[in-house]
Structure 1
Amino acid sequence: MDGCLLPALHGHPPPGEKGEVGVRGRSGRSGKEGPPGSRGLQGRKGQKGQAGLPGAQCPRTYAAFSVGRSEGLHSADALQAVTFDTELVNLDGAFDLASGRFLCTAPGVYFLSLNVHTWNYKETYLHIMRNAHAAAVLYAQPSERSVMQAQSLLLPLAAGDAVWVRMFQRDRDNAIFGEHGDLYITFSGHLVKPDAEL
């Protein structure tokens, strides 16, 4: 055909030669943290370890007293200390029988108890004292029958505190009964909880 170009052949030209590797680009930003995966299977139980060395033994603090009075007592003064003549328990000699006082050297909470026998037709009026302050009262009205009376309490004591029993006289004769051979009058106390363990 005159004046016409031949039609181009269909298809692509053959590939050229492979070029050189380019420079590595910068790392992209880290993606968001994904959700936690499911819990894995439980591993095997390990072997039992060796026993450790024994710990140091904790020091224990003890304090206790129990005293009695074999003779009865009538009030002679308005405020009179009850003294004792029988020592049942007296750790470290902390209770002085002559003065009727327990001197605290191991601070903490103490249990105290006082037991007496009333005297017929006489009033019984006693205080368990901590230093100069009455902590508890033991009281019985005059009666034709004598009975045993008791008082007990828990009391915190500091080092140097003194615990004793006071006979308190009012307008009536105040007395507690006693006789040789039997202990009708007893005063006891022991440390329940040292301060270091509170």
Structure 2
Amino acid sequence: AGPRTATALGYGAKGEAGLRGRTGRSGKEGPPGSRGPRGRKGQKGQAGPPGAPCQRAYAAFSVGRREGLHSSDDFQAVTFDTELVNLDSAFDLASGRFLCAVPGIYFLSLNVHTWNYKETYLHVMCNRRATAVLYAQPSERSVMQTQSLLLPLDAGDTVWVRMFQRDRDNAIYGEHGDLYITFSGHLVKPATEL
């Protein structure tokens, strides 16, 4: 018997390839492969545009009055004649007012020298509101008095000192040679950082 052929086995000759069938559905995603080798370091990029300058907020004033003051009205603003520190000219000596431009928490301090046998009655004012009082009863001895406080201020607020006249002579002592009356304030923390 000779070699078996397709014809001998009952099969016909191989036909031509048919049309390609539709693609089947994708199988499940396999597990991630191992990490590939590290690539080469790229070239250094160009410098970017400069950033905005860092805004550092400052605000401070320290003023004084050399001349003593006696109350003449029920409510009287204390004015000042000596400028020690006045950043951005925010304190107006003639009106005795500090105009807040940088909102935030401020530390304020008022120092005065009392007058013998006279009452000392002052308010630290924020706009039209009395926030703190500095008071000394009449005495045969004059003393230094101080009042300090932390106060939140908004842009546009004014801080000033008001002398309050009652039934007694209200006065603060001063003389041209020395500085007995001072009013100071500085920004502790801007509102942007609160």
Residues 74-89 of structure 1 correspond to what in structure 2 (within 5 A)?
74-89=70-85
CA distance in 1, matches of 2:28, 2:94: 85
Q: CA deviation at 1:177?
A: 2.2
Secondary structure of 1:24's counterpart equals coil
CA distance in 2, matches of 1:142, 1:197: 44
Q: Which stretch has the larger CA shift, 131-140 or 47-56? A: 47-56
Tell whether the 8 Å contact from 1:69 to 1:186 is kept in structure 2 after alignment.
yes
Alignment gaps of 5+ in structure 2: none
Tell whether the 8 Å contact from 1:118 to 1:149 is kept in structure 2 after alignment.
no
Q: Which stretch has the larger CA shift, 26-35 or 11-20? A: 11-20
TM-score of the two chains, using structure 2 as the length reference: 0.73
Q: Are residues 147 and 65 of structure 1, via their aligned partners in 2, closer, same or farther at CA, if it must alter by over 3 Å?
A: closer
Give the greater-gyration-radius structure (CA). 1
1:152 aligns with 2:152: no
Within the candidate set 15, 18, 24, 1:22 is matched to 18
Aligned-residue sequence identity (percent) comes to 76
Tell whether the 8 Å contact from 2:134 to 2:145 is kept in structure 1 after alignment.
no
Tell whether the 8 Å contact from 2:109 to 2:146 is kept in structure 1 after alignment.
no
1:108 corresponds in structure 2 to: 103
CA distance in 2, matches of 1:49, 1:127: 61
2:61 corresponds in structure 1 to: 65
TM-score of the two chains, using structure 1 as the length reference: 0.72
CA deviations 1:120-156 (Å, max 9, x no partner) are 4544332111211112223344454513423132331
Residues 1-198 of structure 1 correspond to what in structure 2 (within 5 A)?
13-14=8-9, 15-58=11-54, 63-104=59-100, 106-109=101-104, 110-143=106-139, 144=141, 146-159=143-156, 161-191=157-187
CA distance in 2, matches of 1:39, 1:98: 76
Q: Are residues 46 and 180 of structure 1, via their aligned partners in 2, closer, same or farther at CA, if it must alter by over 3 Å?
A: same
What RMSD, in angstroms, separates the aligned Cα atoms of the two structures?
3.3
Alignment gaps of 5+ in structure 1: 1-10
Q: CA deviation at 1:70?
A: 0.6
Provide the aligned length of Structure 1 versus Structure 2.
Answer: 186
